[in-house]
Chain A
Amino acid sequence: MSKITFPFGPQHPVLPEAIQLSLTCEDEKVVEVLPVIGYMHRGIEKAAERNPYVNNVFLCERICGICSFIHALSYCQLMEELMQVEVPPRARYLRVVWSELSRMHSHLLWLGLLADSFGFESLFMQCWRARETVLDALEMTTGQRVVQSSCVIGGVRRDINADQARQLREMLAGVKAQIDAVLPVFQKDYTIKARTVGKGVLPKDQAWKLGAVGPTLRASGWAWDCRSLGYAAYGELGFEPVVENDGDSYARTMVRARELVQSYELVLRALDALPEGPLAAKIKGVPPKGEAIMRTEQPRGELFEYARGNGTPRLERLKIRTPTFANIPALLAMLPGCEIADVPVIVLSIDPCIACLER
């Protein structure tokens, strides 16, 4: 049978950002996929080498609008590692609160987009309505909805007082009620199962070999989550990774759905255990000569950062490996053999963030 090659993207209704997949098909079956990336490249790593190291926090959190807090957190932890700074306990707990709120709004956004990708518009709106309350909670506690700018090297800039903590609990109780209303639809609905079960299967051994990260890896049966390393206050909050075994789009949906509830519980646990004390440690001097690495868990998976200092206020090198970059080889392994109609759902199932991917 003759083959035909056509572009999927860079502009496509399911893609919020620009990436192209060049699909080679035999009839309705995809046989080969080639990614074409580079539409969103902004040269952030190079720009970071020209900025004073303190200002890079604000640059790094602009890598991506959805996981902006965790990008800032990773960079701050990286610099703290390089400069041997100890973060006060209250700041570590507040970082967990904001990280998990970011994860909640990211997963709710993704669940909505997944529903939208197969035309389930009302479910999409239900998910985004719940997300709106999470964004309000972020605005209340940090001052901004999307780019919070509340994390700095050595700690945090904003505090959550008792009144805000009470309001946050009330808002999250409302979000939980909305999540409880929509999650059974994702778990049981016939349409959703028909579009996701058995689609884009990534076997366990292949997921590991291709270097998949985050929910994509955990949906293939690996209990691998950087929060288990215990950074910030995760080591003190009793964290357990969420794992599914089927490796298909449905399993990836279920991992994110369960992580949503887990994040809600982690926020409450962090608020309950919030210790008293200062918000930030004093930073003196500049990054010394040397190297450091940092691994954190973003909503999409493991974020890896490397920095090399040279004893000046500017870093010699900052390398950021984002989770979507690591998940692209896994996506290319999932797509061959699927129907063209399933391509949007499978592409979306890795939760692609192209702004992160290309930085």
Chain B
Amino acid sequence: MPWMMPNILRNLFGTPATRKYPFESHQYWAGSRGRLQIDLAKCVFCGICEKICPSRAITKYGHKDDPNVTIHYNPFACIYCARCAEKCPSCAIYILEGHAVPADRKITYGREDVPFSEEEIP
């Protein structure tokens, strides 16, 4: 028992190891991979993200020159590996820092005249 005493005393009189959630939130490290975002103003609809996505979470419908081309992003399939953000030639895809909040809808992005649509969980 005596070899446990310093540790026991430290635990009795030290500060708690846990955070006072929800009053104190977790501090994220720079570069942590959270939610994925697509900036449509920069997107050139080249389709590289669709080709390299390991979990097939991104699908492009239509040719890049087609005015009705759309990009469909399924956050339920996304594994947040950030390969698309790494390889995007126009830096249109980026990953927000911090842990991803639970996804609740699939999103379809298109050019300006194609309506932005969200598909909620039925």
Contacts and interface: CB of A to CB of B under 8 A. Distances in A.
Interface of A: 51, 54-55, 57-59, 62, 126, 129, 132, 136, 139-140, 143-144, 147, 149, 157-158, 181-182, 184-185, 188-189
Contacts of B68: none
A185 B3 contact: yes
B7 A182 contact: yes
A132 B16 CA distance: 14
A290 to B, nearest CB: 24
Interface of B: 3-4, 6-7, 10-11, 17, 28-29, 31-33, 52, 54-55, 79-82, 86
Given A55-B54, A184-B3, A185-B3, A157 B29 contact: no
Given A139-B32, A143-B33, A144-B32, A181 B7 contact: yes
A38 B80 CA distance: 29
Classify the secondary structure of A's interface with B.
helix
Contact of A144 (B17, B33, B54): B33
A51 B52 CA distance: 11
A136 B27 CA distance: 10
Contacts of A185: 3-4
Given A55-B54, A139-B32, A144-B33, A181 B6 contact: yes
B3 A129 contact: no
Closest 3 CB pairs of A and B: A55-B54, A140-B29, A58-B54
Classify the secondary structure of B's interface with A.
loop
18 contacts: A54-B54, A58-B54, A58-B55, A59-B54, A126-B7, A143-B31, A143-B33, A143-B82, A149-B33, A149-B79, A149-B81, A149-B82, A157-B86, A158-B31, A181-B6, A182-B7, A184-B3, A185-B3
A139 B80 CA distance: 13
Contacts of B79: 58, 62, 147, 149
A297 B1 CA distance: 35
Contacts of B3: 184-185, 188
Given A182-B7, A184-B3, A143 B55 contact: no
A336 B55 CA distance: 44
A129 B29 contact: no
B105 to A, nearest CB: 23
A216 to B, nearest CB: 28
A62 B79 CA distance: 10
Contacts of A182: 7
Contact of A51 (B4, B11, B54, B81): B54
Contacts of B80: 144
Given A58-B54, A58-B79, A129-B17, A139 B29 contact: yes
A107 B6 CA distance: 23
Contacts of A144: 32-33, 80
Contacts of A132: 17
A36 to B, nearest CB: 31
Contacts of B28: 139
Nearest to A129: B17
Contacts of B86: 157
Contacts of B29: 136, 139-140, 143
Contacts of B7: 126, 181-182
Given A143-B32, A144-B32, A157-B86, A58 B81 contact: yes
A279 to B, nearest CB: 12
Nearest to A143: B33
A62 to B, nearest CB: 8
Contacts of B11: 126
User: B6, B11, B54: which has the most chain A beta carbons within 10 Å?
Assistant: B54
A294 B80 CA distance: 28
A147 B28 CA distance: 16
Given A143-B32, A149-B79, A181-B7, 20 more contacts: A51-B54, A54-B54, A58-B55, A58-B79, A62-B79, A126-B11, A132-B17, A136-B29, A139-B28, A143-B31, A143-B33, A143-B82, A144-B32, A144-B33, A144-B80, A147-B79, A181-B6, A181-B10, A185-B3, A188-B3
